[in-house]
Amino acid sequence: MTQPPLFHLAFGVQDLERTRRFYLDVLGCLEGRSAERWVDFDLCGHQLSAHVVPAAGPAPTNPVDGDQVPIPHFGLILEWGAWEALAERVRAHGAGFVIEPRVRFRGQAGEQGTFFLRDPSGNHLEFKTFRTAAEVFARELGGAGGSPTA
How is the chain split into domains, by residue range? 8-135
Question: In this predicted model, what pLDDT tens digit does every residue of 25-51 receive, in sequence order?
Answer: 999 999 999 999 999 999 999 999 999
Q: How far is CA 129 from the centre of its chain?
A: 11
Whether pLDDT at 87 is above 90? yes
- Beta-carbon contacts of 88 under 8 Å, excluding residues fewer than 6 positions away, are none
Strand 8-13 to 124-129 pairing: unpaired
Spatial contact of 128 and 112, defined as CB atoms under 8 Å apart? yes
> Yes or no: is domain 8-135 CATH 3.30.420.10?
no
Question: In this predicted model, what pLDDT tens digit does every residue of 91-124 receive, in sequence order?
Answer: 999 999 999 999 998 988 889 999 999 999 999 9
Strand 112-118 to 99-104 pairing: antiparallel
**Three-state DSSP state, 7:** coil
